[in-house]
Amino acid sequence: MVAKLLENTDTVPFDPGFSEHAVIFTPNIESAYNILNSIPALHQRKFQFKMFYPQLLRLVDSTIAFYLGCLLWASYITKKYKDTPKKIEGNSYFGKNVKSDDALHEIDFIISYLEQFEKDCKYYMGKAQDVKPEWDEIINVYKEFLIMNEFLTKAQTTADIKLPSSIKNIDGEQLDKILSQIELSISSAQLEKLYEVKNFIL
């Protein structure tokens, strides 16, 4: 449990456990569209897109949930330990020379794809299907978070983490709920459960 990692220690984990449940986004999207674009007949492409749709939706939803988790965790550890900062353990980016293009490649790809996904749903299925309005907000705030923190290359302690101005100030009860939901999402391997506490910070 994540809470146990925070007991009686001077450190906090960089990743409470999200990474093991993260999906591989770009290669899976590209693979699906390579198949889709290889089909010459429009009616067959429409059928294939409808077959792919649940997988595409899951990829987008899970990926955005992962980035929401990162924002929730950053919000939690900075607010929880604002008076007694702790060292961040396991930050492989610390001290590295991270190029902006490399760090933002996946994020920018997802931002572009969100617009394409909505258009493709309308084109192939006749209407937008389950496109969540919070997706854009989450991914753009996460991009701002990465940039203002210099891609986490200087995040050695919880005091080093900067939060975008759009992140709400959270109190004790909300902190507890966020931690509980993070634990639930990791233990159940369903990062989408994090959407339930999204409004606490955005």
According to DSSP, the residues that pair with 87 across neighbouring strands are 11, 157
Say if CB 202 and CB 168 are below 8 A apart: yes
Reported confidence tier of residue 133, pLDDT bands at 50, 70, 90: confident
pLDDT at 126: 86
Name the pTM for this structure: 0.94
Judging by beta carbons within 10 Å of its beta carbon (0-12, 13-18, 19+), is residue 111 exposed, middle or buried? Answer: middle
Measured between alpha carbons, how far is residue 199 from residues 86, 93, 181, 187 in Å? 26, 28, 13, 22
Radius of gyration of the chain (CA): 19
pLDDT in tens, 163-188: 999 999 998 899 999 999 999 999 99
